[in-house]
Amino acid sequence: MISHIAILMENQPGALSRVVGLFSQRGYNIDSLSVAPTQEPTLSRLTMTTSEEPEVINQILRQLFKLIDVVMVQNLTSAESFSIELAIIKLALNTEEVKKIIDGENKISCNIVNETEGFTMFEVKGESVAIDNFLSSLKDQEFLEVTRSGQLGMTTGMASLRTNDQTKISYD
Amino acid sequence: MTSGGEALIKALADEKIDIMFGYPGGAALHIYDAIYQQDRVQHILVRHEQAAVHAADGYARSSGKPGVALVTSGPGATNAITGIATAYTDSIPMVVISGQVASYLIGTDAFQETDMIGISRPIVKHSFLVQSAEEIPSVVKKAFHIATTGRPGPVVIDVPKDMTDPNHKFEYKYPSSVYLRSYPILGESDANEVKEAVKLLKSAKKPVIYAGGGVIQAEASEELIQLSRMVGCPVTNTLMGLGAFPSTDDQFIGMLGMHGTYEANMVMSEADLIFNAGARFDDRITNNPKKFGIAAKKIHIDSDPSSIDKIINVDVALQGDAKIVLGQICEEFKNASYDKSNLEPWWKQVKEWRNKHGLNHDMLNLPNQSDIILPQQVIQSLYKTTKGEAFITSDVGQHQMFAAQYYKFDEPRKWINSGGLGTMGFGLPSAMGVKFAFPEETVACVTGEGSIQMCIQELSTCKQYGLPIKIINLNNRALGMVKQWQDMQYSGRYSSILYEDSLPDFVKLAESYGHVGIKVEKFSDLNDAMEECFSLKDKLVFLDVLIDPDEHVYPMLEAGGSMAEMRISKKDRTF
């Protein structure tokens, strides 16, 4: 089963390597990972997917929280949440040919962004599974390139991954 | 105005650090110059960086204060790694400062450059790469805060050489306290969980208290003893917890686990309630986790939430500081009636187990004594001679287990050993650290001819600083624990455990470093030699005791089995 984990961590050098290192060190697998600073520039937010068993997920959450740079962790899979992924695909087809392929796709949203020298690039947005399925449906096409963002996620309603503590560090 | 190097040493002094262990080198030279020009922090020059970290570790384990080691970049830093991993596995508060090449050289494969932050990442509680000289005081403050609170552990501060440039001066100010939003420190446990724990304790018919190193770290022995008295149940300590509960106490049933006593392992196996205080259900305790304490409810106190439900799922999880949580439990326990005499049938059973296969604590008076020395006898002789009051450090192997089984520790912090990582070479340098923490106390290092040679160079450090440590070498002319496993599991195929007459003459070796060496070959000489060893108060004495090379450590848990599946001797087993 795929689990989604959201992590709020200090935006500082080395923090990401501690999170990623934890996974390899403890033998956990990372399927995808997406990270960027938040609107509060001292913090980064990370969404990670892993296919470990649920009891292992609890251990992963605790191990992550133990890292000094990690402020909060959240299991998105065990809560009501929304998640989405973005992919960029480039095919050796012209725009018209790509349009035929993407017309009628209702589980993903597609948008052609560029055609250069007969190669068409388009973006695909949707649930990771839907993107997986769409890519499988293209298996007869000659892919030039695909890149995926990894999943982003957020819980619905009041529950949130945010800290009211704006003070990263304070000294007396 | 101070330079970064001066600020680093001042910050240590302001953190009430008066001693550090280290070894100089290029990237650390500005720091060493700053050390030279002050007298608040003493620097002890070791002979190998691994020993610097072990010495800082021994200092920390014995005193409860954080240990500090200082090494240079590259090989200095990598040599420190084994010491850091040792401290990490046993949750020892420590700050390791490593020199680094200048910041503008990082990443260029400069001379003696190594990515210390990267190499040490999996074996530190946290680490810092200093980014500016001005942040050194605050980094030091954070480092000690993190190293000493919660579940303690080693913190590395990697200091690029230009951060300690003597020509770059700034105003020094040391913070008195620090708060990190990403680092909550647990204190009290949830009151409902405490109530539930007490309810289980009071209703148990066959309870056992299993206490580990966390009790010692939290200075919670008093609370542990108080609770044990109230409950009146058997108490067992882990290898790391020895001394947390007094070993000579009637309620004590010995160490548990791989080489625990028969009665302790049987109690764990048959108990209906396992109360774990500050231990982590390590694989050397549980044996096969699927067969562990099947009939028992389980309560677990831990300052590290990630230790809870990691190996063994528990019924009541008490996350918090062991001292505070045990205090909470004691308070709650007083509130309702409890009759200790309900445990009488349980104690009857425990005593039967003890009488059946308990350790023989009178091996010095074995009948028909041949003149071959048994390792257990050496430990008993050591115990008798030191009246059970010495600090005992240990290396790793059979001698470590014999010491743990036969030296009865009545106080915390007296037993210093590498429990989790099992680091050979730990014994002598950690004994140096203990001796610096307690110059007036007796410090003995129980070792073997294998382990001692892994940090033997520290005999020179002991000479330089006049450290009268007693080295008790259980010399069986083989890597004994490996030999035991090869006897038991590999039909006696002794692969790479013998030295082929290459062992040094340890007496001459000790003498060449300016110490005293004594060799003992016969049981009839053992007690006198031991007495002589400890009567030479101002001398380091290397007591080389030739022991029976064929002795095995028993009991021993059978791999893959429950805690009740033990080998009791070469012939007897419980399964």
Give Cα B66 distance to the centre of its chain. Answer: 14
* Residue A126 covered by a domain: yes
For residue B274, what are the β-bridge partners? B208, B298
To the nearest whole angstrom, how far is the Cα of A86 from the nearest Cα of chain B?
A: 30
Yes or no, beta carbons of A66 and B181 under 8 Å apart: no
Yes or no, beta carbons of B146 and A14 under 8 Å apart: no
Find the Cα–Cα–Cα–Cα dihedral B529, B534, B538, B543, rounded to 10°.
50
To the nearest whole angstrom, how far is the Cα of B442 from the nearest Cα of chain A?
A: 38
Q: What is the ipTM of this complex?
A: 0.92
Please, are residues B30 and B5 in contact by the beta-carbon 8 Å criterion? yes
Residue of B424, B481, B556, B566 marked active site: B481
Please, are residues A9 and A43 in contact by the beta-carbon 8 Å criterion? yes
Give me the residue from A10, A66, A172 closest to B306, CB to CB.
Answer: A66
Last residue of a domain, one of A14, A47, A79: A79
Give me the residue from B118, B182, B306 closest to A71, CB to CB.
Answer: B182
* Residue A162 covered by a domain: no
* Residue A163 covered by a domain: no
Q: A11 and A75: one domain?
A: yes
What are B134-192's pLDDT values in tens digits?
999 999 999 999 999 999 999 999 999 999 999 999 999 999 999 999 999 999 999 99
Domain boundary assignment for chain B: 2-170, 191-357, 363-558
Angle made by CA atoms B68, B74, B80, in degrees to the nearest 5: 35
Residue of B37, B111, B173, B441 marked active site: B111
CATH of the domain at A105: 3.30.70.1150
Yes or no, beta carbons of B127 and A14 under 8 Å apart: yes
Q: A112 and A74: one domain?
A: no
d(CA B247, CA B243): 7
B254: which 2 tokens?
């010995």
Kindly tell me the sign of the dihedral angle through the C-alpha atoms of B345, B350, B352, B353.
positive
Superfamily of domain B191-357 in CATH is TPP-binding domain (3.40.50.1220)
B144: which 2 tokens?
């000690």
* Residue A145 covered by a domain: yes
d(CA B513, CA B163): 38
Look at the domain B2-170 and name its fold.
Rossmann fold (3.40.50)
B69: which 2 tokens?
């080691």
To the nearest whole angstrom, how far is the Cα of A69 from the nearest Cα of chain B?
A: 6
To the nearest whole angstrom, how far is the Cα of B123 from the nearest Cα of chain A?
A: 10
Tens digits of pLDDT across chain B (575 residues): 999 999 999 999 999 999 999 999 999 999 999 999 999 999 999 999 999 999 999 999 999 999 999 999 999 999 999 999 999 999 999 999 999 999 999 999 999 999 999 999 999 999 999 999 999 999 999 999 999 999 999 999 999 999 999 999 999 999 999 999 999 999 999 999 999 999 999 999 999 999 999 999 999 999 999 999 999 999 999 999 999 999 999 999 999 999 999 999 999 999 999 999 999 999 999 999 999 999 999 999 999 999 999 999 999 999 999 999 999 999 999 998 999 999 999 999 999 999 999 998 899 998 877 899 999 999 999 999 999 999 999 999 999 999 999 999 999 999 999 999 999 999 999 999 999 999 999 999 999 999 999 999 999 999 999 999 999 999 999 999 999 999 999 999 999 999 999 999 999 999 999 999 999 999 999 999 999 999 999 999 999 999 999 999 999 999 999 999 999 999 999 99
Contacts of B183 in chain A (CB under 8 A): 68
Token look-up 């973005």 returns A86
Give me the residue from B125, B127, B175 closest to A171, CB to CB.
Answer: B175
Q: A115 and A70: one domain?
A: no
Give me the residue from B125, B180, B308 closest to A169, CB to CB.
Answer: B180
Q: A75 and A88: one domain?
A: no
**Pairing state between β B42-45 and B67-71:** unpaired
Comparing alpha-carbon positions, the chain A residue that sits nearest to B313 is A55
Look at the domain B363-558 and name its fold.
Rossmann fold (3.40.50)
The DSSP secondary structure of A74-131, one letter per residue, reads: EESTTS-EEEEEEEEEEESS-HHHHHHHHTT--SEEEEEEEEETTEEEEEEEE-HHHH
Taking one residue from A and the other from B, the number of pairs with CB-CB distance under 8 angstroms is 63
**Pairing state between β B391-394 and B415-416:** parallel
Range of the domain at A25: 3-79
Question: Is the predicted pLDDT of residue A143 greater than 80, yes or no?
Answer: no
How many CB atoms sit inside 10 A of residue B272's CB?
16
Q: Is B409 considered catalytic here?
A: no
Interface contact B121, partner A, CB < 8 A? yes
Same fold, B191-357 and B363-558: yes
What are B382-434's pLDDT values in tens digits?
999 999 999 999 999 999 999 999 999 999 999 999 999 999 999 999 999 99
Angle made by CA atoms B538, B543, B548, in degrees to the nearest 5: 165
Contacts of B176 in chain A (CB under 8 A): 171-172
To the nearest whole angstrom, how far is the Cα of B325 from the nearest Cα of chain A?
A: 20
Q: A75 and A132: one domain?
A: no
**pTM of structure:** 0.96
Q: A86 and A104: one domain?
A: yes
The DSSP secondary structure of B7-48, one letter per residue, reads: HHHHHHHHTT--EEEE---GGGHHHHHHHHT-SSSEEEE-SS
Last residue of a domain, one of A79, A111, A138: A79
Give me the residue from B176, B304, B306 closest to A172, CB to CB.
Answer: B176
Please, are residues B276 and B224 in contact by the beta-carbon 8 Å criterion? no
CATH of the domain at A53: 3.30.70.260
* Residue A14 covered by a domain: yes
Q: Which residues contact B192 (CB under 8 A, 6 or more apart)?
A: none
Q: How many domains does chain A have?
A: 2
Yes or no, beta carbons of B181 and A165 under 8 Å apart: yes
Q: Is B369 considered catalytic here?
A: no
Q: A9 and A75: one domain?
A: yes
Q: A59 and A22: one domain?
A: yes
* Residue A97 covered by a domain: yes
